[in-house]
Amino acid sequence: MKKKPTPKPNPSNQFLLDPRALSCWEYYINPKSETYGNAYRSALKAKYAESTATRITHETWWQVKIRRMNLLAKSEKVLDEDLEMDTIVPVVGMFGPIVDKKTGKGMTKIDPDLRRIRQSAATFVTSRLGKTEGYSTRTELTGADGKDLPTPIYGGKSK
């Protein structure tokens, strides 16, 4: 007689991660966790079985999270480069860089395209990271943290 498989302690599907997966990931990425950076120990702490903990980094959900983390790191690097980019470029003529005859130094100018890229990067970062400082470009129809907007007072007179 076939033995019925034991059900998962925390059912999951393609849309919903096992709550242990979320805990495991939080333990892994939290610098204050004693299992920070250690996938095996984080999995054990999240109540995974030893057999699963030894291969946790081969799980699809884990690889997706690592890939996403790497993409975010690359994006942050590009933003840093854009924010630090020098927008002053040499003035180049038909025969190469133009040199000031009096000083002997190459002439420079501000490149408007590079300046626009740098400004766009700064605006993007400020709108995301500066939300609590008032730099938000919110378009939602709710108040802070999704709460209701205050009731407006029309006309300033009460009856």
Least confident stretch, 42-46, 49-53, 120-124, 135-139: 135-139
Query: What's the whole-number mean pLDDT along residues 132-144?
Result: 65
H-type alpha helices, the chain: 19-29, 39-45, 50-53, 60-84, 112-129
As beta bridge partners, residue 89 has 109
Average pLDDT, the chain: 81
How far CA 34 is from CA of 22, 26, 31, 48, 82, in Å, comes to: 16, 11, 8, 17, 36
Confidence bin at 14 (pLDDT 50/70/90): low
Long-range pairs for 44-51: beta carbons < 8 A, 24 or more residues apart: 46/20, 46/21, 47/9, 47/20, 47/23, 48/20, 48/24
The model's confidence at residue 77, banded by pLDDT at 50, 70 and 90, is confident
What is this structure's pTM?
0.52
Tokens standing for 15?
């849309």
Residue 109 CA to residue 19 CA, distance in Å, equals 56
Q: pLDDT at residue 103 above 80? A: yes
Token digits of residue 81: 């480069």
Q: Specify the DSSP class assigned to residue 133.
A: G
User: At 135, phi and psi to the nearest 5?
Assistant: -100, 15
State residue 8's pLDDT score: 59
- pLDDT at residue 158, rounded to an integer: 53
The pair of structure tokens assigned to 115 is: 């300046």
CA triplet 34, 36, 37: central angle to 5 degrees? 145
Mean pLDDT throughout 82-87?
84
Average pLDDT over residues 120-128: 80
Q: Sketch the domain layout of the chain as residue ranges.
A: 16-75, 85-131
